[in-house]
Amino acid sequence: MQIQRDMATHGEKDVDRIEPFWWGLFAAGGGIAAMFAPMQILLQDLLGNAGVPVATSSYRRARRLAANPLVRMYLFALTSLSLVHWAHRFRYYVMDLGVTGARRQIALVCYGTAIAGSLDAARIVLRLPGRAR
């Protein structure tokens, strides 16, 4: 009975109108992180902290580098899209971990966090100081 009922209610559903929007940003975030993140972590956070003279280890150099509009655009895209990428994956990851309920709420929290984080990223990147004297 149960299965027959499932089958009866499983008819044509509406095309999902919002999922492609999130999925596009998710794919873009996954792509930019895949392309750029490993090398940046390696240099900025591993070799840099081990003494290799990378730009981000020095305030003056980091500031000069971040004054470049291309670098700013990159930093905003990398951080904000990585957050959306997380939100979209984590929404389903929670289910993979066995939480089956509260889907709408979980999606709201995930995407909400990503949107808040992206706004913060925009604020931080827009207010980066200009070229040091």
- CA-to-CA distance for 121 and 78, rounded, in angstroms? 10
CB of 70 to another protein, least distance (A): 9
CB of 8 to another protein, least distance (A): 10
CB of 132 to another protein, least distance (A): 8
At residue 61's C-alpha, the angle toward residues 45 and 31, to 5°, is 50
CB of 111 to another protein, least distance (A): 13
Token pair belonging to 40 = 């940046």
